[in-house]
Structure 1
Amino acid sequence: MNDTLPHRSLILGSSSRYRRELLERLRLPFEVFAPDLDESPLPAETPLQLATRLAMAKAQAVAKLYPHAIVIGSDQVAELHGRAMGKPGDHQRAVEQLTAMRGQEVVFHTAVAVVCAETGFHAGDVAPVRVKFRNLSFAEIENYLHAEQPYDCAGSAKSEGLGIALLAAIESDDPTALIGLPLIRTTQLLRQAGLDPLLALKNGANA
């Protein structure tokens, strides 16, 4: 890898505050630009395919506007018995999701893509997270939702908060994937694109 590449700005193509907070852990300066995309699934599209397509589409949409930048796109889709479960949006839908997931294993497909239009770089990866939900009571579901109101989270739960009490087990090789951005895979893709977070720190990018 060429460590003397000219500086490129980094853009997170997402409106998610969770992804923004996760990316801040890398201590790299970045901007946020949320693309306006239709996130509806295509006919016969699986949850995995949906997450992968949307992550790349978000990155490419922003990269067209900022061709010199390195752009990160990400998307997460929860899957229960082959069916996609998105963000609930409101209390009633969240109740329905958690009721359906109690005692079940849910796979959270967290996809990330990195694109630089000027160099032609584009690559992506997916971090699957297998989550086993406890056999929750109605009271537990209601109390949790009123306490945390995770209506903007796929699967109606925040594992980084009180939502951890909903779960029996988590299986993942990328520990931040369930929150919304798999940082191991993200840093791998950034290095491939020419931006090594550790070398950027060494060179004073965000010292």
Structure 2
Amino acid sequence: MAQVFEPKEAEIALLPHSAKLGMDVATAFEKRSSIQPNEFHGEGLTLQEVSDLLWFGYGINRPNDKNKRTAPSSGMAYESDVFMIFPAGAYRYEPETHRLVRVSTADLRLEVAGLQKDMATAPNMLVVAAHPEKLKGKTPERQHHIALVAGGTIIQNICLYCAGAGIRCRPRATMDAEALRKSLGLDENAIMVMTHAFCH
């Protein structure tokens, strides 16, 4: 197996996404599943897998058409933020440059695990947060609803990528939202949408 990615730099240029995965879309739907919280004892992801996971989840797939992304967004507000969580720290994904930017040097896996402490053994995790105020011209209730739906599409994109790439995963709503909001440098209005855990 290729080398597990262990980030050390404050900014990391990701690799171009893979042109093909190991299976077609129909098979990926058939294979999509979530492993149990106590089953995250495998190895972490490679740099290519991290690069692919983020691009398939929320990357720019139409750079010549207003930088539109793999996940839809109401009015192209792109109110979601995606964070990769490693033992060595947390990084925000920047789709415009396809890179990771470090936001914390702490191991936040226990905060992502929340009440499900077994999940903290996962070598790699991910957090989707949202900034509803970016959705202009909508009531706060609609902003909240749309932000949750948009975050869910990112999570589902990642689920299908993992199925196609042979990565074991589990999407989750459980987390220590207040602690994560602070650790990731988010303001009090940010919605902590969902998390994900990964291993081989």
Shorter-chain TM-score above 0.5 = no
Q: TM-score, normalised by structure 2?
A: 0.26
User: Which of these two proteins has the greater Rg computed from alpha carbons?
Assistant: 1
Q: TM-score, normalised by structure 1?
A: 0.25
